[in-house]
Amino acid sequence: MNDLSNHEQAIELLQELGLKEYEAKAFVALTRLPEGTAKEISEISEVPRTRVYDAVRVLETKGLVEIQHANPQRFRAVSIDEAAETLRREYEDRVDSLRTTLREVEPAVPTDETEVTHEVWALSGEPAIASRTSQLIDESDREVVLVIGDESTYTSDLRDRLQAAGSRGVNVVIGTTNESIQERIESDLPDTKVFVSGLEWLSASAEFDDETVIGRLLLVDRNTILVSSFHEGSGDGQDHEQAVFGRGFDNGVVAITRRLMSTGLLSTPDADA
């Protein structure tokens, strides 16, 4: 999407939010005009004039366009803020409906109520990993230990989740790779213990010709872990985040990670503070 113009990006984003191609093109055209006729919309949007009317009617039902019944008819888009809010509400309603519907779908096989205590799963992509990180923090009861290996993983959403965990009595400890990130987190979360991690292997290693960077290490209630790293993308020049997470106090992956993180904690002068 970075190679597209703002005009093309807007059309693509509107389609991702549920509009069809002609509807998206007609709406973007109207945002460029104080008001317009079907002919004017067609000229700007390259939507066939006969299809403009259908597209605008759909946009009107969605609350995105107003119609003046003159001769010829004239159309205008609602404000950008109003349109964005309308689409946001519709998107959220669809997500809520999807959640409810999926929960009511009958399982293909009987569910096993026995709790699984040993499991390791893989995730790929920043959105999925950030979502799972938030979920695990939200589920915490006693302790969250998070080592941030790459500053890009420290987002406003993550900050809010950590703050909420601390507010409900969870012991939150955060490790960083440098003092600048430490100062930023201490400013955001003044009641949270923050330290500069002694885990030097979180960063890329020139000594071993290893460019892998650990994105985040998360340990929740001493029985669930998530470890992510950044890998060079295939052809697009961007790094992609991948992760594994495991549950179960007896899980070997959990035990090893817990001990490594403890080593990083103990190697800092403030670890026992």
CA atoms of 206 and 215, how far apart (whole Å): 17
pLDDT on residue 132: 93
Q: Are residues 85 and 123 in the same domain?
A: no
pLDDT on residue 8: 92
Q: Is the pLDDT of residue 143 over 80?
A: yes
Residue 108 belongs to some domain of the structure: no
Average pLDDT for residues 225-243, to the nearest whole number?
75
CATH number for the domain harbouring residue 58:
1.10.10.10
Structure tokens at 79: 């404000």
Give the chain's count of helices (H) and strands (E): 9, 9
**Number of domains making up the chain:** 2
pLDDT (tens digit per residue) in 41-97: 999 999 999 999 999 999 999 999 999 998 999 999 999 999 999 999 999 998 899
Lookup result for tokens 């929960």: 103
Residue 170 belongs to some domain of the structure: yes
pLDDT (tens digit per residue) in 3-14: 568 999 999 999
Q: Are residues 85 and 134 in the same domain?
A: no
pLDDT on residue 26: 96
Q: Is the pLDDT of residue 23 over 60?
A: yes
Q: How many CA atoms lie within 13 A of 167 on its CB side?
A: 8
Q: Is the pLDDT of residue 273 over 50?
A: no
Average pLDDT for residues 19-40, to the nearest whole number?
95
Residue 139 belongs to some domain of the structure: yes
CA atoms of 154 and 136, how far apart (whole Å): 15
Residue 190 belongs to some domain of the structure: yes
Name residues whose C-beta falls within 8 Å of residue 253's C-beta, 6 or more positions apart in sequence.
120, 225, 244, 246
Across 61-93, b (16+ Cβ under 10 Å) vs e yields ebebbeeeeeeeebbebbeeeebeeebeeeeee
Q: Are residues 193 and 75 in the same domain?
A: no
User: Could you tell me the pLDDT band of residue 210, with boundaries at 50, 70 and 90?
Assistant: low
Nearest to 199 by CA among 133, 265, 272: 265
Lookup result for tokens 């519907």: 101
More confident residue, 249 or 207: 249
Q: Are residues 18 and 84 in the same domain?
A: yes
Residue 107 belongs to some domain of the structure: no
Residue 1 belongs to some domain of the structure: no
- CA separation (Å) from 227 to 9, 146, 180? 33, 10, 22
Structure tokens at 144: 């969250």
CATH number for the domain harbouring residue 144:
3.30.870.10
pLDDT on residue 237: 54
pLDDT on residue 158: 94
CA atoms of 11 and 41, how far apart (whole Å): 14
Q: Are residues 93 and 143 in the same domain?
A: no
Q: Are residues 87 and 189 in the same domain?
A: no
Structure tokens at 7: 């005009």
Q: Are residues 151 and 63 in the same domain?
A: no
Q: Are residues 73 and 151 in the same domain?
A: no
pLDDT on residue 267: 46
Q: Is the pLDDT of residue 204 over 60?
A: no
Question: 3-state SS string over 99-150?
Answer: HHHHHHCCCCCCCCCCCCCCEEEEEECHHHHHHHHHHHHHHCCCEEEEEECC
Q: Are residues 130 and 235 in the same domain?
A: yes
Its domain, for residue 78, covers 6-101
User: Could you tell me the pLDDT band of residue 236, with boundaries at 50, 70 and 90?
Assistant: low
User: Could you tell me the pLDDT band of residue 1, with boundaries at 50, 70 and 90?
Assistant: very low
